[in-house]
Amino acid sequence: MDSSILFVGLFLAGTVVLSRMKFERVLGVVFLLRTRWGIKLIDSIAKLSPGFWKFMADAGLFLSFGGLGAAYLHRTKEGYRHLQILVPAVGVLSAVFAYLTGYVELAVAALVLSALGVVFRKRMDAVFAVTVGYFTVAYHAFFMLLFSPPSTISVLIASFTGVFGMPVLLFAGLFFGAYQIMFKASTMPGVSPLLPATKGGNLGVTFPGYDIFIPWWYALIALLTTLVSHEIAHGIVAKAHGVRIKSTGLLTLGALPIGAFVEPDEEALKKGSHLTAARVYVAGSFSNLLVSFAALGLIAALVLFSFVGLKSDGVLIFSTFAGSPASSVVSSGSVLYSLNNYSILNVEDFVSAASTVKPGDKVVLNTSAGVAQFNAAANPDNSSKGFLGVMVIVNTAAGSRAPQLYSAIGFATTALEWIWFFTLNIALVNLLPVVPFDGGFIFPNLLTALKLKPGQLKKITYWLIALTALTFIINALPLIKSLGDAVLSFAGLN
């Protein structure tokens, strides 16, 4: 049975089942599946160290919103105390990053700024300026690493990111996409929804307009990791502030899960301080960012392990071809040290030595199981070349289990790549300073650090909503056009 037909059938059947149950519904087809599952676990984790979770949430505000986040934290007693650790520590990390990317002058500047932040830590304007300075340094070094030589635009983006934080990165991407669509006639959408799809008979998900297909098992692992880490972080930080968790659950479109949620007591959250609310909202995105960096670290470790940790001298005779000259005299699982006096240290050495053998030549293999001798046959694909009938792989501590180990490493690496992709992008999107994203609930609190009047705050909020909506619409124009063309074609009008 075609996987797409199976998917549609399961989707419809599941939707019918959900519609007959007493779950809360929105717009008729969106279901809120509320449970109490996981609440005790969240409570237990939060109780381990409430102070630590509050510090991590402040670190999220600081790292996510740059100088603005620092200015906001400086106005609160507990936030100010946490800044005494964050300002010098992140400054030193910025200097290390700049140094490792080869920009010594930027590294020195970050260290100087970090020291000034300690000296003038009691002055909010000084902490703001210092934070903006070394965040700009770090982002500038990053952009130069990606887009050398730097452009005026990259310097401006780095500077604005230093002031307002990571949302600037997403806005920069949206502005670039809008520019390409409006003035360069680009047909590539800047935004695209995640939708079910099939490819080669396999079920998965895709982003319409992009040549991206993610098999369902990788998509499931990545989405579960993203949603669980995001929502549990919200719950842990809320509970660390004494806010009750009312429920947990899934958000589904019909039978298709499209989100998860941890529902804190909104009334208790409103009665708490604005810092409490900001911490709870930023926790999800910051947790996703931490998971994305952890995924990158694990990918690097797996790659290093597969290329360095598993290798040793020689190659492993994995198997022989049935009926080949070697099949009756060569032992599978033994280590090959030499071929006709050619020393074999790796697979490349074996290929090079084997290429010198002609049909009928005598072949002498020195292996860990002894010396094997036979006459080479003619290669079925090229009769002028010799054929040994030996399949070799890199010799590792895993021995004959090496193929399975490499396969497992490959699966884990690919899964981690998609975890990195989803957690990073969902973190950035959720930091957008407009409702319903988490950033929309955080940003008005951050702006209080600028001591703006309520009327000014409203104007800024409305302009941000309008700007975000406009850029999203422009970035979606290629998708809208494709959908319109498909409808006209279906109706026979195109």
**Mean pLDDT in residue range 22-42:** 77
pLDDT tens-digit series, residues 176-221: 999 999 998 888 898 888 888 887 777 888 888 888 888 888 998 9
> Which residue's structure tokens are 């292996």?
367
Within a domain: 366 = yes
State the Cα angle at 122 between 120 and 123, rounded to 5°: 75
The predicted pLDDT at position 309 comes to 56
Range in 5-19, 103-117, 129-143, 311-325 with the lowest mean pLDDT: 5-19
> Which residue's structure tokens are 């700024």?
113
| Count of CB atoms situated within 10 Å of the CB of 404 | 10
pLDDT score of 427 more than 90: yes
Q: What is the CA radius of gyration of the chain?
A: 29
Higher pLDDT, 311 or 440: 440
The predicted pLDDT at position 312 comes to 57
pLDDT score of 402 more than 70: no
pLDDT score of 280 more than 90: yes
The predicted pLDDT at position 24 comes to 72
Residue of 105, 108, 127, 102 whose CA lies nearest to 116: 127
Residue range(s) defining the domain that contains residue 335: 315-395
Residue of 91, 89, 69 whose CA lies nearest to 137: 91
Which CATH number characterizes residue 348's domain?
A: 2.30.42.10
How many alpha carbons lie under 13 Å from residue 198 in its C-beta half-sphere? 11
pLDDT tier for residue 267 given thresholds of 50, 70 and 90 = confident
Within a domain: 30 = no
Cβ pair 285, 60 in contact under 8 A: yes
Q: Across-strand partners of 204?
A: 197, 215
The predicted pLDDT at position 7 comes to 62
From the centroid of its chain, how far is CA 463? 30
Within a domain: 189 = no
The predicted pLDDT at position 136 comes to 87
pLDDT tier for residue 426 given thresholds of 50, 70 and 90 = very high
Whole-structure pTM over 0.95, yes or no? no
Distance CA(327)–CA(322), nearest Å, equals: 6
The predicted pLDDT at position 346 comes to 79
The predicted pLDDT at position 260 comes to 75
Arithmetic mean of pLDDT over the chain: 84
The predicted pLDDT at position 494 comes to 60
Range in 122-126, 226-230, 482-486 with the lowest mean pLDDT: 482-486
Within a domain: 268 = no
pLDDT tens-digit series, residues 313-362: 568 887 888 778 888 888 877 888 889 988 888 788 888 898 899 999 99
Distances (CA, A) of 276 to 64, 227, 324, 385, 441: 16, 22, 73, 74, 12
Higher pLDDT, 478 or 382: 478
**Mean pLDDT in residue range 295-322:** 77
Within a domain: 336 = yes
> Which residue's structure tokens are 């998971």?
291
pLDDT score of 399 more than 70: no
Within a domain: 126 = no
Cβ pair 73, 55 in contact under 8 A: no
The number of domains in the chain is 1
pLDDT tens-digit series, residues 56-102: 999 999 999 998 999 999 988 999 999 999 989 988 998 898 888 88
pLDDT score of 52 more than 90: yes
By DSSP bridging, strand 382-387 and strand 377-379 are antiparallel
Within a domain: 176 = no
The predicted pLDDT at position 98 comes to 87
Within a domain: 485 = no
pLDDT score of 311 more than 60: no
